[in-house]
Amino acid sequence: MVSQRRRFAAGAALVCVAALVSSILAGCSFVSEPPEPLVREAAKVASDLRKQPGVASARSDVSEGSWRHPHQRFVSLGVTLRDAGGLAGPATKAATTVDGATFAQATDVTLDVIVPGGPGLAPVSIEDSRGHRDGAGLPAAVAAADALRRLPTVAGATLSWSTASVRMAAVTAAGPTPLADTAASLRGLDGFGTGRLSAVEVDWPLGGSERSAAVEVAAEVPLDPLIATLEELSRRPDVSRIAYREQRSEDRPHLDIETGRPEAVADLLAAVVDPAADRLELPRTAFVVHAAAADRSVTGFVGLPLGAATPEPDWRAVDDPPLPAEEAAGIRSDYEAGIRAFLMETAVLGKRAGGPPPDADPTTCATADDGSVHCDLLLPLWHEPGATEEYVEARYASITAAWRRAGLSPSERALGTEIWTPGAGYSGPPGIELARLRGTTDGIRIDVSSSNVR
């Protein structure tokens, strides 16, 4: 016989399932609605934006984070300008208005400025994010957009907080050297290769709705031989997609091609001449060529036989070449001496006033594989005669106060460890990248690391 408690549990489970199904069918969501004050504030800012000269329309939207981050709230504001002439003035005024709003409950605030095209000017879209500014903000994006929209090879430009892209003009795309022409016009811009124009993605259709190319053009890559090869591939009907990325923050440029003939295209790429890579001046481009179904793929490096080992250099070696061994050893020696002195001063602060001086050198140091210097110091405060919790806390406060005066500040705390890093007013020994401070059963342990020296 089924107990009354079990029947109740089963009935409750069925009720919960029914409620869940009903909520799904009704379009309900477990994510809460955005707070009304935030929605009203965003709507008020959008209303103010509509009243500004040169603004054709403005909108606002407030959205919640995903179910994983239900407490995140994002404010999105959009402005469309009336004509192509007013870019800097109206866009800057709109950004100033948005910056003047508090949006205290928002995780991030973005502003999209859409500028229509005009005679000799392509339409542009600019995104400014309050949470992802690089120090230059909207004025740098406006200047970059104004330069891009004036290029005859460009039909449209988009700048977000992290990327810049252009849509190739139809007359350029129909020409014999579309990518070479667009790359030349981009590289002819003042300041290209830096800031918002460090690299620009060039997009153009290859014919048909499912064939496209997106090539990121930077100051150094891709080189002319690879550009010519990509143009050749763009004209082949068996190639449906071309994607090239500079990947400066990673190891090397990367090329992804979708084609019905992976082996033939891979052979073509392996035969491309790459003089800068041959001279070890730039990293070779890695490629993967695959069929649409992804059942066949070939990987390799441009200009090398298929199956070749990973070549040198990578971007890190190009941008930050290793120092001569003697020079690197000298810098590491200076770093170690500075860190030892820093820790000796810390050891003094960790001693009882009027107590015995610290050991001549209580520090141990080592050099890591990446060329950084790591030194550590243990202050066995709990083993000192008459040590109390108040005494240890006082020594800790004395150490951290001195660190703050030197320009260090706590940047992270986890599992009983504080991580301190140099700030703008840092006046301590050169080379210190971070210092870790944590309490132990013996007292206080301090680890200090320098920046890498290769």
In tens, the pLDDT along 296-342 reads 899 999 999 999 999 999 998 888 878 888 999 999 999 999 999 99
Q: Which domain holds residue 226?
A: 206-321
Tell which residue, 146, 77, 139, has the closest CA to residue 115: 146
State yes or no: pLDDT of 13 exceeds 50. Answer: no
The pLDDT score that the predictor gives to residue 10 is: 44
Q: What is the pLDDT of residues 139-175, one digit of tens each?
A: 888 999 999 999 999 999 999 888 999 999 999 999 9
Residues 391 and 308 in one domain: no
Residues 290 and 340 in one domain: no
Q: What is the pLDDT of residues 91-136, one digit of tens each?
A: 889 989 998 999 988 888 999 999 999 999 999 999 988 877 655 5
Residues 308 and 336 in one domain: no
Query: Is 199 among the domain residues?
Result: no
Residues 379 and 310 in one domain: no
How many CB atoms are closer than 10 A to CB 21? 10
Classify burial at 37, counting beta carbons within 10 Å of its beta carbon; exposed 0-12, middle 13-18, buried 19 or more.
exposed
The pLDDT score that the predictor gives to residue 65 is: 77
Q: How many structural domains compose the chain?
A: 2
Query: Is 442 among the domain residues?
Result: yes
The pLDDT score that the predictor gives to residue 169 is: 97
Last residue of a domain, one of 321, 344, 374: 321
Residues 316 and 413 in one domain: no
Query: Is 201 among the domain residues?
Result: no
Say which residues have a Cβ less than 8 Å from residue 26's Cβ, sequence separation at least 6.
Answer: none
Query: Is 243 among the domain residues?
Result: yes
What torsion, rounded to 10 degrees, do the Cα atoms 433, 434, 435, 437 define? 180
The pLDDT score that the predictor gives to residue 150 is: 96
What torsion, rounded to 10 degrees, do the Cα atoms 10, 15, 21, 25 define? 160
Structure token pair of residue 84: 């192509």
Last residue of a domain, one of 274, 289, 321: 321
Residues 307 and 343 in one domain: no
Intra-chain end-to-end CA distance of the chain, in Å: 77
Residues 298 and 342 in one domain: no
Residues 419 and 337 in one domain: yes
The pLDDT score that the predictor gives to residue 68 is: 65
State yes or no: pLDDT of 12 exceeds 50. Answer: no
pLDDT classification of 24: cutoffs 50, 70, 90:
very low
The pLDDT score that the predictor gives to residue 56 is: 95
The answer to whether residues 74 and 63 touch, using CB atoms and an 8 Å cutoff, is: yes
pLDDT classification of 362: cutoffs 50, 70, 90:
low
Identify any residues that bridge with 202 across adjacent strands, giving them in sequence order.
166, 215
State yes or no: pLDDT of 137 exceeds 50. Answer: yes
Q: How far apart are CA 77 and CA 62, in angstroms?
A: 9
Identify any residues that bridge with 449 across adjacent strands, giving them in sequence order.
374, 434
Residues 216 and 315 in one domain: yes
Is the pTM of the predicted complex or chain greater than 0.75?
no
Residues 339 and 367 in one domain: yes
Query: Is 114 among the domain residues?
Result: no
Rg (CA), the chain: 30
Query: Is 18 among the domain residues?
Result: no
Classify burial at 214, counting beta carbons within 10 Å of its beta carbon; exposed 0-12, middle 13-18, buried 19 or more.
middle
Last residue of a domain, one of 282, 299, 321: 321
Tell which residue, 246, 148, 250, 247, has the closest CA to residue 196: 148
Residues 351 and 301 in one domain: no
Query: Is 60 among the domain residues?
Result: no
Residues 331 and 445 in one domain: yes
Query: Is 387 among the domain residues?
Result: yes
Q: How far apart are CA 55 and CA 58, in angstroms?
A: 7
